[in-house]
Amino acid sequence: MTNSTEQTPEERLNRLLVDTPITDTHNDFPYVVRIQLHNEIQGPDFDFHKLNTHTDINKLKKGRLGLQFFSCYIEVKSNDPYYQDFNLTSTVVRDTLEQIDVTKRLMQEYSEDFEFVNSSKEALSAYRTNKKIAVTLGVEGMHQVDTSLAVIRQYYDLGVRYITLTHNCDNPFATAASSVTGGLPDKGLSEYGVRGVLEMNRIGMMVDLSHVSYKTMLDVLDVTKAPVIFSHSSAYALTPHERNVRDDVLLRVKENRGVVQVNFFPAFITQTKEEDANGRSIATIDDAVDHIFHVASVAGWECVGFGSDFDGIQYVPEGLEDVTKYPDLIYKCMARGATDEQIQGLIGGNLLRVWNANEEVSKQMKLAKTPVVEKEWDGRKWTFSSYSKGLGNLYPGADQTETYKSNEWVAETGNPFGLKK
């Protein structure tokens, strides 16, 4: 084998990229398309090859991206970020489906460059054999499943491969970091959240702990049967922000063989209290390198990767202006002493290992005939038309079950079926 010290950084990277794709687990580009175009991508002015965003095809190629997880993010549908009424009527599932749809349509429209993949094996085949950028999906918050385990399963069937347990709000599954900073108690993972994590393990959906509270992180690591990911988080020891990961959690990630994908948002990686003229945190590419090396020093080089948050952040570190800058970041890590084996894990090998491990856990749970987790959230309101009381019983006594008795009935008004009186 060629000694890496005899090669330039460019030569080292070229050799590593033969087998391992540069992988990023969090890019919010589809949300920009939603906001600005309402997901209408066939207009004459939209050309994915050349845009002003952090991300476009030309930039992805220059940055040598090989595997991209696009986030199907939808905001919380409440004006109160600390709301606790999780039965509120919402369009969040509809809106998430639209984000899944537009991302898949983009991949079809630009299929010369992209291949939508459903497994770690397919991702490697798309990259190595078909010479395409492999693309899959993440959903950024369990508020986007509207309390339902069935929605998690359907998202998986549509190609989603990780779900973040919270965004910037609590939900029936878990407590968010932002709720704790806002003064709410850190309740961690709920009993329903335990069921949700185990169902995600059963189907092969990666559990993402970015955005969750400290106690939620620990609680999940106590119960999960598969390695977890932090899709876009950094090191708390360097930048003490609740969105980041404390060292004791990093040690637990090491035991779990999970991965922390370092976020590039300046507020999460800055190591100075200085601000720019707009009052925003200042950070550089070297801060990102510091966070990578800190995660590696505590959890091991097998547990770190890239989770940029590009196109979901309004400003970026100096030197990490867009997706073209991954090679520069990698060269910085090489210059600081990272070996080829460590770089190979960092750029994508670690994430692919975790993805494959989740698939294997799912396979083993299904071979063991682990049953589907059917029981939904105890606090859910099941509301039906009073007309439905007249429907036939599934079996004798079905209308005497506790589930049936917990229903709420809404009286019919008017003449909904147009029947003659």
| 143 is annotated as an active-site residue | no
Strand ranges for 209-362 from DSSP E = 229-230, 259-262, 304-306
Q: 159: phi > 0 → left, psi -120 to 50 → alpha, else beta; which?
A: left
- Which H or E run contains 12? helix 9-16
Q: Minimal CA–CA distance to 299: which of 251, 331, 346?
A: 251
Task: Give the C-alpha separation, 251 to 299, whole Å.
Answer: 5
Tokens standing for 80?
């109160």
- Please list, residue by residue across 259-288, b when 16 or more beta carbons sit within 10 angstroms of its beta carbon and e when fewer do: bbbbbbbbbbbbeeeeeeeeeebbbbbbbb
Task: Give the C-alpha separation, 407 to 404, whole Å.
Answer: 6
Q: How many CB atoms lie within 10 A of CB 103?
A: 23
Q: Give the CA distances from residue 396 to residues 11, 71, 389, 401, 408, in Å, rounded to whole numbers and listed in that order.
A: 73, 47, 15, 10, 21
Q: Active-site residue among 54, 143, 232, 291?
A: 232
Task: Give the C-alpha separation, 345 to 260, whole Å.
Answer: 12
Q: Active-site residue among 54, 143, 211, 241?
A: 211
Task: Give the C-alpha separation, 127 to 125, whole Å.
Answer: 5
| 26 is annotated as an active-site residue | yes
| 167 is annotated as an active-site residue | yes
Q: Active-site residue among 24, 56, 115, 140?
A: 140
Q: Active-site residue among 24, 26, 54, 143?
A: 26
| 28 is annotated as an active-site residue | yes
Q: Active-site residue among 54, 143, 167, 294?
A: 167
| 85 is annotated as an active-site residue | no
| 232 is annotated as an active-site residue | yes
Q: Annotated catalytic sites, by residue?
A: 26, 28, 140, 167, 211, 232, 309
